A and B are shown apart, each in its own frame.
Chain A
């Protein structure tokens, strides 16, 4: 009787997953496969949907991989991400150390957390246009401020210099994300077993020793998770480079996603090349995802099974 009952409930697992699966197949799986197919075809031109496969199936991939602007885009994406991520993780760790250490006792932490996180929630498109206005030439708040403070004598054109354009994009990215990273890391530290900290204190460790010998090793998983998600986010950077200077000057802020958009939707309608570039990015991202997948899978399934076993044990006791 008991067995028959639990068997009949299992089908609700399928029923309740149906909406997800249907939406998934239509809106994720089909577009992915379709993108993949387009990558091997001659599909280009506004409003075209019919296509035939190329005689050299890898031609689009070759074109993309050898194209100077894709290479520039890939290099820019990585460079901008690295320039943003190093200060991002450094300051996030620094604030985490300060905000969680009993020796610092910084007041107004709630306020600082709210303010540091705020840029993250604001529309990236608006932020990009705002920074475009803030850094424009010759009259902009940034130039006005720097001249007033005597740091520069005359306005500087931030938007024609390749280096400063990259730096500003990286800075916006840093500015939007360090608060988020900090909050994730703080919650990670608060989840660490306090016994380790107590032991360190009794042994007379300095703050720095405690932080590097206990906090960081315990944060390893969260640090890895943050790094990988930030990396995937960075590989998909679009809103800011697109609306800050639309990839310019001279492709200095062209990222791979802006490249894909330009190929497919901004005049040239090269859907096939854009699809090939998307697939290359998907491959890079998939490699990163596998790492995350491995990290979480084992640990999780075990806890579900344990809970289920415990419930089954309860039932048996009840039955008896």
Chain B
């Protein structure tokens, strides 16, 4: 049986590793962080069913315990090269690893909100990202900049997605429903706090997403405003003043809020960018390119190099896990 190296121990990498190991492959999985699944463990609950993110992380982590899987944590793969029919990887400490096959599961990184400076992230204390909000929800500590219960929270969609100015024309796909989910969580914890969501258009594409959107309005009183926020500024009492246009009313508006939550999009991670470039399989926006989105979505232009998960494009966790299984099937059928 052939050996395979998997780069990235997120849901994609782990799910594929587990299946391949179960079919007798010897699997090496590389993760640059100290622990796997760091992009799930910082979440509280998952849409659309409010499942506990920790549970999922646990279940996935369990799968890594197979004896045919060798874990290399804190190992950042910085280069890859062909080695006869197989592949050689090199990490940042200079160590090399060889295997017959290679699966890229290097994933995404959240958009760096500093790049939209007009929204004041890291400048005004009341401006946070959706990741910060998720942590606050998890810790049951949703507080404004002076440590008090917020009276109003504004969510802003499409920060770093569908935005020509930040260079990302694509939709990150899951921010719409995440904001709705977070607003509901907020209202569950703090029923008296007002929640506003500023959006361009709401893309409630998945199963139960539309229902969640309706629920948020009917049962929780979340208010939706169509329009983007053009700029934010701090007020003397540590709150945030936003300027926006309500495009349904056709009116400019100003609003003061305790928290401004930036729903940051997904970008190709540094690992995805570098390794896709090195392998010559660069697609748009630094993501890796598969051969065909319908039939060969796990194959790359390089023989023996497979792709799965958000190194290709933004995906939800459910999509990612399904894609990992599809990658495993593809690999097994070819190996």
**Do the two chains bind?**
no
List A residues at the B interface (Cβ < 8 Å). Answer: none
List B residues at the A interface (Cβ < 8 Å). Answer: none
